[in-house]
Structures are given as C-alpha cells and as structure tokens.
Amino acid sequence: MPRRPSSTAVRDPVVAGTFYPGTASALGSTVDGLLDGAALSAAESLPGQPALRGVIVPHAGYSYSGPVAARAFALVAAQPPPRSVVILGASHFWPLRGLAVPSHAAWRTPLGIVSIDATRRATAQRAGVLRDDRPHTSEHSIEVQLPFLQRICPGVPVLPVAVGDGAPDVLAVTLARILDEDTLLVVSTDLSHYQPADVARRLDARTAAAIEALDHTEIGPDDACGVHALRASLAWARSAGSMVRRLDLRNSADTAGSPEWVVGYGAFSIEAGGGS
C-alpha cells in the first residue's frame, strides 16, 4: 500500500549538502550568484513578451547544472509571480506508472518551508493522480528546484508531481486538468548521460530540436532521464497551443566536469501563443 503519513508531515531535504549547499547562508548566496550570472537580454526583459507557461530545467548538482537552470529561473523572475507552481520530476528510484503527488503539507530546504498546494493536489487526485510518497522519498529531481523558487517567488505554494511511464497524450490530459493560467509548470530533466562531450552535444542538439518542435515522439528513453515528464509536458504544450524556446544548452564539461563522460543540460521556456 502507498505510504500515507499525517497530512501535517514535512518532508526534509535529502540532497542538501551534496547537490546544493546545506546551510541557508551558503545556499542563498549560491542561488543568488547563479541568477545574477544568468542575465536576461534586453528584449526578454521588455513588457509584452509572450506569457510564460512553464520552464524546462536540469536537476543535477548546482556546480554542474545550476548555471543552465538559472537561465530559465531568471526568466521566471522577470515575470509576475505565479499563484502556484507545479513541478514535474522523474522517479529515479521507484517504479512508477502515471503520476504521483506526495501527502506532505510542506517540503523543507535549508532556506525554509515550501507549502504544498493542497487545493491543486485535490484537483490532481480527482483527475486520477496517485497520492503516494514512495516516488518522492529519495528523489532529488524536484527538490533541487525549490531553492530557486524560494528565492524568486517566495511564499508561492508548489505541487510536486513524480512522473512515471504512461502515454504522453493521456498524461497531458491530466496535466491540463491540474494547470491553469495562474500556474507555472516546471519540468525537471537532464538530457544525455555519460557520453563523451562531442557525442553528447550532437545527441542533445537533436533532443533540443525535438523539444522546440513539441515532438515528444522523437525523444527516446536514453535522451533524457526525466523523459516521461518531458514527453507529457510537450504533449500538453502542443495541445495548449504553446511554443517552446531554447534558452541554454550545455553539458557538464562546459560547467564543472571532465569531457570524457558528461551529462547534458538544457533550459527552455514554454510560452503562450505559439499555435499548434
């Protein structure tokens, strides 16, 4: 049976001190520095840009993927704050089919408490989403996004959603029931894994082209570790008439790692008004 702790339970961080700094002062300084280094172009900062519906961001340790993730979160910071944030993450450690939300009332990071959007969770459950903590217990893909959100839109509640195997078009219908125009979607995924840097660049360029084309059929299971979340979000974006724009595309050799075996990272915006 799914683990169902008290609704007052707070999930403590599982990768603080490893994927990102474990103290509030160090974490705040790190996130602020990453955001400062991800300056927007003048055009992106102007009013009248397409409404931002979501972002696609990587989820590795901050020294590796943080500069790429910050590129997307800097764009979020330039928009009016959303009323709620839905974060789609992978289920690296638990076999999962479909979608799963946690039972906790809040998640904690070194920067403090992030409230879970209980109303949106209830909507998700009415749409058939499981309430199950097991995919979230040891998972980092959603947790690493929280400090960025705490810094750029403090106090905004979130709904963590682990995404497992399922038909993208079916999962997209469920997402459409959860999301509205006041909600920001954050899709957490890395790209290719453990390839030489030149091979990774070629593979990730192909995946990025498929993402921009909203073509989830061209993204294979080895192209992204959060492939189920990515495919479902692209199917949702296409059905909503949105467009996807590439903000950054790098790998760990470009940030902090060796070129021999790298992980790919991409940052993309999902914007209204792209047509279908």
CATH number at residue 85: 3.40.830.10
> Would you tell me the crossing angle of helices 227-239 and 168-178 to the nearest 10 degrees?
70
* Domain-located, residue 261: yes
Q: Which residue is listed with tokens 């660049």?
A: 201
Domain span at residue 199 reads 55-271
Query: What average pLDDT does the segment 142-157 reach?
Result: 98
pLDDT at res. 273: 79
Per-residue pLDDT tens over the stretch 62-113: 999 999 999 999 999 999 999 999 999 999 999 999 999 999 999 999 999 9
Q: For residue 171, what are the CA distances in angstroms to 31, 176, 200? A: 32, 9, 28
Q: CB count, 10 Å around CB of 23?
A: 12
* Domain-located, residue 24: no
Q: Is the pLDDT of residue 154 over 90?
A: yes
* Domain-located, residue 22: no
* Domain-located, residue 9: no
Query: 11 by DSSP, 3-state: which?
Result: strand
For residue 247, give the nearest of 211, 200, 222, 219 by alpha carbon: 211
* Domain-located, residue 8: no
* Domain-located, residue 4: no
pTM, two decimals, is 0.93
pLDDT at res. 201: 97
* Domain-located, residue 255: yes
pLDDT at res. 220: 96
Number of domains within the chain: 1
* Domain-located, residue 61: yes
Per-residue pLDDT tens over the stretch 1-53: 344 444 459 999 999 999 999 999 999 999 999 999 998 754 565 556 779 99
